[in-house]
Amino acid sequence: MDYSLRSIGVRKVILITLGFNLLVGLTKIIYGMIVNSVAIMSDGIHTLFDGFNNIMGLVGIYYASRTPDEKHPYGYRKFETVLTIFIGVMMFFTAYTIFHRAFESFISNQPSTAGLEAFLVMLVTLSVNFFVSAYERKKGLELNSEFLVADAGYTRSDVYVTLGVIAGLILARLGFSKADPIVGMIVGFIVAWMGVTIFRNTIAILVDESVLDSHDIMERVCAIDGVESCHKIRSRGPEGNVFIDLHVQVDPLISVNDGHEIANVVKKDLKTKISGVVDVVVHIEPVTKPEDKP
């Protein structure tokens, strides 16, 4: 794995999305303050926090891209996973901010002065958010970056938020005076749910939840010449940085050199044919045949 090239690619994507997020976020916040729309301001705050996530991402990716060393033989990739938790935390903080502003707007009963130009502002920013989310997710999958995929999810929630704001603006113009703060609260729930999803996926990686189908690996390995059977199959790690270890049983009468060669074939097969596998540990043991049992 070329850690430096991957790091450069991830950082390039982060810088591009950062520029778009700052532009869109500030536009929404300023316009929302001008027309006294809590929904538009909340949408802008959400986008601006995404820009803050991008800045933190640049720092985290720097550490996550370092090559394995004696103290970290499995590499530094989980720095990126830990950073993904930060995005989840920021989502919860954003949801709280939105709820607070929506509640204040609800009890103050100050009507929004957003006009037809508000629809143009929201449609333009919606298009930008949709592009950024799709671009970041595509690159995240290509680079096997859980941070980019999670951040794309945060940006994708911006799309849902903006759609909700547009719906609120339409309802407000139809005479529903409480539509703006109510939509703001709905937006808050959407953002909070996205945070829960990110936490759930990230914790699965940190607690080493199995990431590959053990039965599929067993069938693949048992098809290799010289392998009698295999068991104790384990896999862990984020997509694109998966580690496997397993026990392979061979004929007890073969030489140590032959057993070692079978282990090498198993390791090469799994690394080349299963995407994202970076290391395989094979434990060779003799198979116990029925006639050998007492």
> Could you tell me the pLDDT band of residue 109, with boundaries at 50, 70 and 90?
low
Tokens of 284: 């060779």
Amino acid at 181: P
Q: Other CB atoms closer than 10 Å to residue 113's CB: what's the count?
A: 10
Which among 125, 156, 152 has a CA at the least distance from the CA of 136?
A: 152
What confidence score (pLDDT) does residue 293 get? 47
Question: Quick one: average pLDDT of 101-113?
Answer: 65
CA 11 – CA 3 distance, rounded (Å): 12
Pairing of β 277-286 and β 229-236: unpaired
What confidence score (pLDDT) does residue 148 get? 84
CB-count burial class (<10 Å; 0-12, 13-18, 19+) for 42: buried
pLDDT 10s digits, 166-195: 777 777 777 776 776 777 777 778 778 878
What strands, in cross-sheet order, belong to the sheet with 242-250? 229-236, 242-250, 277-286
Question: Quick one: average pLDDT of 207-227?
Answer: 89
CA 148 – CA 156 distance, rounded (Å): 12
The residue with greater pLDDT, 9 or 154, is 9
- Only one residue has tokens 């995005």, namely 87
Which among 33, 21, 52, 39 has a CA at the least distance from the CA of 190?
A: 39
What confidence score (pLDDT) does residue 291 get? 54
Q: Which domains, and CATH codes, for the chain? A: 3-206 (1.20.1510.10), 214-292 (3.30.70.1350)
Which among 41, 61, 276, 278 has a CA at the least distance from the CA of 150?
A: 61
Angle value at C-alpha 77, between 247 and 134, nearest 5 degrees: 115
* pLDDT cut 90: percent of the chain above it: 19
CB 99 within 8 A of CB 188: yes
Tokens of 261: 């060669």
pLDDT 10s digits, 248-284: 999 999 999 999 999 999 999 999 888 888 889 999 9
CB 193 within 8 A of CB 184: no
What confidence score (pLDDT) does residue 284 get? 93
Which among 50, 76, 61 has a CA at the least distance from the CA of 195?
A: 50
Beta bridge mates, 18 = none
Which among 75, 107, 104 has a CA at the least distance from the CA of 236?
A: 75
Angle, helices 179-206/78-108, rounded to nearest 10 degrees: 160
DSSP state of 71: S
DSSP state of 181: H
* pLDDT cut 70: percent of the chain above it: 90
Distance of alpha carbon 76 from its chain centroid, rounded? 17
Question: Quick one: average pLDDT of 191-203?
Answer: 81
Q: Does residue 216 surpass a pLDDT of 80?
A: yes
Q: What's the chain's average pLDDT?
A: 80
pLDDT 10s digits, 18-63: 888 888 888 888 887 887 777 677 777 767 777 777 887 787 777 7
The residue with greater pLDDT, 86 or 18, is 18
Beta bridge mates, 285 = 249
pTM for the structure as a whole: 0.61
CB 58 within 8 A of CB 36: no
3-state secondary structure 221-275: HHCCCCCCEEEEEEEECCCCCEEEEEEEEECCCCCHHHHHHHHHHHHHHHHHHCC
